[in-house]
Amino acid sequence: MREVAVIGTGITRFGELWEASLRDLCVEAALGALTSAGADTLDSIYVGNMSAGLFVGQEHLAPLMADYLGLGGVPATRVESACASGGMALRSAFLEVASGMSDLVLAAGVEKMNDGADVTGVLATASDQELEVYYGVTFPGLYAMVARAHMEKYGTTEEDLSWVSVKAHRNGARNPNAQFRRLISLEDVMTSTMVAEPLRMLHCSPVTDGAAAVLLCPLERAKEFTDRPVKILGSGAATSTLSLTHRKDPADLDVVELSGRRAYEMAGVTPDDIQVAEVHDCFAIAEICCYEALGFVEPGKGKDAARDGVTDLGGKIPVNISGGLKAKGHPVGATGIAQAVTLVEQLRGEAGESQVEGARIGLAQNMGGSGASSVVHIFQGV
Ligand code: COA
């Protein structure tokens, strides 16, 4: 396999973007990635998208994107793995370059969620229709069950969950593209509206429009496009049961552990080598589970990490420095690519007031459903 580098990035603002359509968002992010690398051609395109068909009535996204980029004729493929669609699109692009088949490959991700669709219903299509949706369960409801299981097993409290959200908003306040740039207090979180007990509104990621893109090429050609390429050291993906009912232990996200282990093995690094991470905090409990599953802390210790500043900027392992899904926003198909954009900025030392000093190795973890799919990438500044 060839070594692969990220040579360009592009991202839109995240939020309720009534003025921009699905195609506007994707084109803006993709052109950003191409322009930043000074590239005007591509060998292949992957677009991560969960459900443009249900959100805005548009399927067959990949050729639409190629056409609107002015690159009609280029092979283009849409990748779907619920909220992990972006991360899986990145993995597909990585594999295509690593295999030697193509040199310049774009991985984009996009979702337009605020266009009038029944968002909760559309998102629920990523869970088990027969075993979960039929009985009325929603995603906040599923992650509430994960939270309950974690509380039972490890003594995690509602306050522990709340510190994760306080940290997310503190980080989001520094991110010019974030949906929420306001600070929130512990009390704000703990008195916000109950959505699915024990998860309150401020434990939840919001409903977001947005897009992101990264441009990849073989590492040996990267210097043709940028002085600061970022190498993809490892890529690991895994699946688990679609329904939470069938999960061996809902308190532990086994899919994150497995995808992380595969990425660590490929990269030849351990959790101790990771200096900055973006993980899938669709709900505060998911971030706590990820700390444990990725080996940043011991099992059962995830609940203390945000409160104790371990995962804060300046802490041992800063996590979700972008604001994460909670504050930056979660346009589901774009999230995995947006995580990569954040890490590339960090590893190039271009993150301004959000910069993790001296960061050279970073990890992105992107999850689908209630933990049925997960993909982890490990990056290194070169
Ligand atoms: N965090 C912070 N503020 C939020 C928020 C969130 N998650 N969701 C909404 N808000 C804010 C809105 O900006 C709005 O503020 P404003 O009055 O200043 O404009 C206000 O709260 C009301 O927004 P509204 O859209 O009416 O909220 P809602 O009750 O319809 O939705 C949730 C709130 C939490 C139910 C919704 O954000 C949600 O479903 N989140 C989960 C999404 C999800 O499941 N994603 C997939 C994960 S696997």
Q: How far is CA 18 from CA 13, 55, 179, 351, in A?
A: 12, 14, 13, 28
Structure tokens at 158: 């509602």
Residues carrying CATH 3.40.47.10, the chain: 4-118+208-224, 119-203+231-381
Residue with the smallest CA separation from ligand 1 atom 34 is: 201
Query: Catalytic site residue 330?
Result: yes
Nearest alpha carbon to residue 376 among 266, 231, 216: 266
Residue with the smallest CA separation from ligand 1 atom 19 is: 16
d(CA 197, CA 246): 21
pLDDT digits (tens, 9 = 90+) for 114-168: 999 999 999 999 999 999 999 999 999 999 999 999 999 999 999 999 999 999 9
Is 10:35 a contact under the CB 8 Å cutoff?
Answer: yes
Give residues with Cβ within 8 angstroms of 70, minimum separation 6.
Answer: none
Superfamily grouping for domain 4-118+208-224: Thiolase/Chalcone synthase (3.40.47.10)
Banded model confidence at residue 106, pLDDT cuts 50, 70, 90: very high
- What is the pLDDT at residue 331? 98
Banded model confidence at residue 35, pLDDT cuts 50, 70, 90: very high
Residue with the smallest CA separation from ligand 1 atom 8 is: 206
- The one catalytic residue in 150, 169, 203, 330 is 330
Nearest alpha carbon to residue 242 among 138, 122, 128: 128
Structure tokens at 129: 């229709």
Residues with CB under 6 A from ligand 1: 83, 120, 123, 139-140, 180, 195, 201-202, 204-207, 282, 330
- What is the pLDDT at residue 310? 98
Is 345:339 a contact under the CB 8 Å cutoff?
Answer: no
Atom from ligand 1 closest to the CA of residue 143:
48
Atom from ligand 1 closest to the CA of residue 82:
48
* pLDDT (average), residues 243-260: 96
pLDDT digits (tens, 9 = 90+) for 300-320: 999 999 999 999 999 999 999
- The one catalytic residue in 83, 217, 289, 290 is 83
Query: What radius of gyration, in Å, describes the C-alpha atoms of the chain?
Result: 19
The conformation of residue 98, written as its DSSP 8-state character, comes to: H
Is 263:223 a contact under the CB 8 Å cutoff?
Answer: no
Nearest alpha carbon to residue 251 among 320, 196, 300: 300
Distance 244 CA to ligand 1 centre (A): 24
**Which CATH number applies to 119-203+231-381?**
3.40.47.10
pTM (2 decimals)?
Answer: 0.98
Instruction: Look over the chain and give the mean of its residue pLDDT values, rounded to a whole number.
Output: 98
Three-state DSSP class for residue 340: helix
